[in-house]
Each structure stands twice: as C-alpha cells, then as structure tokens.
Amino acid sequence: MTTRRLVLSRSAALIGAASTGLLLPQIARAQSGKIRVGLMLPYTGTFAQLGVAIENGVRMAINEKGGKLGGRDIEWFKVDDEAEPSKGVENATKLVQRDKVDVLIGTVHSGVQMGIQKVVRESGTLCLIPNAGVHAATRALCAPNVFRTSFTNSQPTLALGKAMVDKGHKKAVWITWKYAAGDEAFEGFRDSYTKAGGTIIKELGLPFPNVEFQALLTEIASLKPDAVACFFAGGGAAKFIKDYAAAGLKGKIPLYGSGFLTEGVLDAAGPAADGIITTMHYGDSLNTPRDNKFRLEYAKTFRMQPDVYAVQGYDTGLLLAHGMAAVKGDIGAKQALYKSMETAVIDSPRGKWTMSPSHNPVQDMYLRVVENKENKVIGVAAKALADSGAGCKMA
Ligand code: PHB
C-alpha cells in the first residue's frame, strides 16, 4: 500500500513538474536528443519515382531550415512500402514500434495509407501524408495527429469536368486503376462533369498496377466518345500515354486526366503526351518568384526537375518544421503542436495554402496542357478548393 502510494505520488509529481516547465533531467534529455523521423514511401514498383521525389522535397525544406527540427538534430528511418497495401500495417508498425519514430511521413498509395492510418490512430504518432489522397484519412477516419499536405483523391477531378464541357466534350469515357485512388478520383469527375452537363458513357478499369491497356483502348476506339478522362500515375501513367498514342487515339479522341497522369513522366512519355489537358494543384510554368527559386534550387541539388510530388514533400518538410519550431522541439506538447500546424499558412511553390478543419489543403487547382515536356499552366480551374471533410470528427 505504502509502495503504491509512493509510486502514485511520484508520478503525480512528474506530471506537475512537466506542466509547470520544471522538467526532470531524464525528460529534458529526451527532448534535447535527436528527433526520430520515419519515411514510409514506395522506393520500388510503379510509384518508385514518386517516393524519391517526396523524400527529396522533405529533405530540401528541412535543410533550408538548417537541417534541424525545433532545434533538434534528426535521425532518419526509412521503409520501402512497395505501394503494397497488404504490408501497410506491418511496415507502419516497424517504424512506430521497432524504430520508435516521433513522426511518420507517408505515403503515396491510398491502400497503404489505410494501414498507416490504423497504426497512427492507435499509437497517436504524428503522421504527415505527403501524397495518398484516400478520402477516409481526412474524412470519417480523420485524427488530430494526422495532417495531409497533398490533396484528397476527388480534389483535382472536381476541377476537371467543367473544363472538359467548356471545350465542347459532352460524352466521355472514364478509365482508371480500380482501387481507392481511381474510384475516388472518379467521384470528383462524375460530380463535376455531370453537373456541367456532360454524360459519362462508360467507366473502364483494371487492377493496380496492371498496365495491359490494349483491350480497353480498343473498346474506347469503338465507343467513340468526345473525350477520355482518367486517373493513372507514375510508371503506369507513362505507359498509358504511350499506348494511347500507339493505338491511334491521340489526335482523334482528346485525353484528359487528373494531373498525376503527366507528373514526372514527360521524359518517359515523349511527344505522345503533347496536348494532354489536366487539372492539378501545381504546374511547371507558374513563374512566380517563389516557385522559380524552388525549381532552381531543386534542379541544382538533385539534378532533375521537380514535379508535384517533390512539392508535396517540400511542403511536408515546411509544415513539420513550422510545428516543431512552435513547440521548440518538444514533440510531446501535442496541443500546441497541432494548433500551430492547423493554423499554418504554407508558403508553397504551388502558391500559399492553408489547412482545412479536417487537416487537408485548401488550394487552387490549375488547368494545364502538356507542351514540350512541360505541364504548362493555362488557367485556374478552381480557386481555394477545399475537400468536404464529410464525417470527420476530431477526437
Ligand atoms: C493514391 O493512391 O492515393 C495516389 C497515388 C499516386 C498518385 C495520386 C494518388 O499520383
């Protein structure tokens, strides 16, 4: 009994000391030690380049802030998630339980994100999503410790439908990989296209990351729509663009998409990509001082051109640095940390953006056309577009 009371009063004293700022030596040491940052990204498979671009962006933003977070040095941990949903929980658990990361940055693939979401909702680990757009992460399964710096899957395509109808395309075929990202991108397309007066005559799909497009392209040729809209990304997108041209559809049936179709793939796709029109929260010719500075620095550092994934990674680094500076490296000061991240205005190469109440960017969507291996910006398709955040209740 005496022992128990002693233990209780000692822990009460600990809590008291922490909240009054009189930190005991071991806690003070923990907070001045290295901050453990986990990267869970695809480094192999069709999304490998996306993972690399995101990591480049994260590191670049943090290096610009002196290479530290809230004054603390960083220890990095990396896991290749292979864009493989069945290993999502296992890989996230490696970072959270084995490596004891303070923050998990990940990932690209919506299915894998669902595994991360489960793990970080249970552990309370701070999680920054640098790409995966799965709706649930910032809707029904939103969480105070989860912040997205990219988009929801329906955000880019919500800006696409009207742009297509404005160009006179009244009948469209939709084609995608059949998984959360493609299905939710379709929701945005369906809502915006039908609202603008368009009709979707057929939805086509194939499993991720399958690239056997031939039979589906033959079907598109026989359906003769006014236009085709799609969601593909990474290596598979480059192949889709080339196969579309090789099937004789380029120049006959205009190809549209959410902008991932033409991000990071223009060297691989070559002239087959010319003329493709997409909507996206970034473009190659924004020509703002902020973006020009970023693009120059990125090209110098990594010997390649940045794309939307590099920007999302960069903004992830900016957001994390912002939060950590606000709490001076004390990642345990959760309320203050989350508050500063919720109210941040991110001075991004894409243009300034803010966080919605469900922790997803409120941002402009640009209309772009591919010209000479560039996603040339030709307009703003939607201003300050926010996701609905439907069903999000922050605990
Ligand atoms: C996703 O799975 O959420 C995803 C993957 C690649 C993209 C966009 C979304 O380019």
In this prediction, residue 347 carries a pLDDT of: 98
DSSP letters spanning 138-201: GTTT--TTEEESS--THHHHHTHHHHHHHTT--EEEEEEESSHHHHHHHHHHHHHHHHTT-EEE
User: Does 143 contact ligand 1 (Cβ within 6 A)?
Assistant: no
Best probe residue, ligand 1, of 47, 231, 258 (max atoms within 8 Å of C-beta): 47
Dihedral, CA of residue 18, residue 19, residue 21 and residue 24, to nearest 10: -10
Residue 375 lies in a domain: no
Q: How far is the CA of 22 from the centre of ligand 1 (A)?
A: 45
CA–centroid distance, 379 to ligand 1, in Å, is 23
CA of 281 to the centre of ligand 1 (A): 14
Q: Do 181 and 260 fall into the same domain?
A: yes
146, 61: one domain: yes
* Same-domain status, 174 and 202: yes
- Distance, in Å, from the CA atom of 393 to the CA atom of 139, rounded to the nearest integer, reads 8
Closest by Cα among 52, 57, 38 to 104: 38
Residues 191 and 266 in one domain: yes
Identify whether 263 is part of a domain. yes
Which ligand 1 atom lies nearest to the CA of residue 111? 2
User: Which atom of ligand 1 lies nearest, measured to the CA of 83?
Assistant: 2
395, 359 contact by CB (below 8 A): no
Cα–Cα distances (Å) from 30 to 34, 35, 120, in that order, read 8, 9, 21
Cα end-to-end span (Å), the chain: 36
Give 248's DSSP letter: T
Count of residues for the chain?
Answer: 395
> Are residues 49 and 27 both part of a single domain?
no
Nearby residues of 93 by Cβ (< 8 Å), 6 or more positions away: 119
Calculate how far, in angstroms, residue 108's C-alpha sits from the geometric centre of ligand 1: 6
Establish whether residue 360 lines the binding site of ligand 1, counting it when its CB lies within 6 angstroms of any ligand atom.
no
Q: Give the Cα separation of 70 and 324 in Å (integer).
A: 5
End-of-domain residue from the set 221, 255, 280: 280
Could you tell me if residue 366 is inside a domain? Answer: no
Separation between Cα atoms, residue 349 and residue 369, nearest integer Å = 19
Q: Is 108 in the pocket of ligand 1 (CB under 6 A)?
A: yes
User: How far apart are the C-alpha atoms of 91 and 108, rounded to whole Å?
Assistant: 14
Q: Is 233 in the pocket of ligand 1 (CB under 6 A)?
A: yes
Nearest CA to ligand 1 atom 5: 109
**What's the Rg (C-alpha) of the chain?**
22
Residue 387 forms part of a structural domain: no
Looking at 226, 248, 280, the residue that finishes a domain is 280
End of a domain among 280, 312, 343? 280
176 and 73, same structural domain? no
Q: Let me know if residue 372 belongs to a domain.
A: no
- Residue 326: which residues within 8 A CB-CB, separation 6 or more? 70, 336, 337, 339, 340
Using a 6 Å cutoff on CB, does residue 311 contact ligand 1? Answer: no
Q: Is the distance from CB of 113 to CB of 85 less than 8 angstroms?
A: no
CB of 308 shorter than 6 A to ligand 1: no
Query: What is the C-alpha to C-alpha distance for residues 123 and 245, in angstroms, rounded to an integer?
Result: 48
**DSSP, res 7:** H
- Looking from the CA of residue 109, the nearest atom of ligand 1 is 2
Q: What is the pLDDT of residue 1?
A: 32
Whole-number Å distance, alpha carbon 24 to ligand 1 midpoint, is 45
198 and 276 in a single domain? The answer is yes
pLDDT at 395: 73
Quick one: 93 and 178 in the same domain? no
- The CATH number given to whatever domain includes residue 79 is 3.40.50.2300
Question: What is d(CA 84, CA 358) in angstroms, rounded to the nearest whole number?
Answer: 26
In angstroms, the CA 205 to CA 230 distance is: 10
Determine the distance from the C-alpha atom of residue 227 to the mean position of all C-alpha atoms in its chain, rounded to a whole number.
27
Q: Quick one: 201 and 101 in the same domain?
A: no
Total tally of structural domains belonging to the chain: 3
Of 228, 186, 236, 185, nearest to 208 (Cα)? 236
Ligand 1 centre distance from Cα of residue 18 (Å): 41
Query: What is the atom index within ligand 1 of the atom nearest the CA of 132?
Result: 3
> Which residues of the chain form beta strands (DSSP E)?
35-41, 74-80, 103-105, 126-129, 146-148, 171-177, 199-206, 227-231, 255-258, 277-280, 345-348, 351-355, 361-371, 374-385
Segments forming the whole domain that contains residue 13: 2-31
Q: Sign of torsion, CA 187 375 129 111?
A: positive
Is 368 among the domain residues? no
Distance 226 CA to ligand 1 centre (A): 26
Same domain for 145 and 72? yes
| 386 close to 362: Cβ distance less than 8 angstroms | yes
Per-residue pLDDT of the chain (395 residues; tens, 9 = 90+): 333 333 333 333 333 333 444 444 444 444 559 999 999 999 999 999 999 999 999 999 999 999 999 999 999 999 999 999 999 999 999 999 999 999 999 999 999 999 999 999 999 999 999 999 999 999 999 999 999 999 999 999 999 999 999 999 999 999 999 999 999 999 999 999 999 999 999 999 999 999 999 999 999 999 999 999 999 999 999 999 999 999 999 999 999 999 999 999 999 999 999 999 999 999 999 999 999 999 999 999 999 999 999 999 999 999 999 999 999 999 999 999 999 999 999 999 999 999 999 999 999 999 999 999 999 999 999 999 999 999 999 97
User: 150: CA distance to ligand 1 center in Å?
Assistant: 10
**Is residue 141 domain-resident?**
yes
Q: What is the largest CA-CA distance in the chain?
A: 85
Answer yes or no: is 38 within a domain.
yes
Return the SS3 of 243.
helix
Together in a domain, 45 and 22? no
Do 39 and 144 lie in a common domain?
A: yes
Q: Which one of 131, 183, 240, 261 would you pick to mutate in the ligand 1 pocket, going by the greatest count of ligand atoms within 8 A of its CB?
A: 131
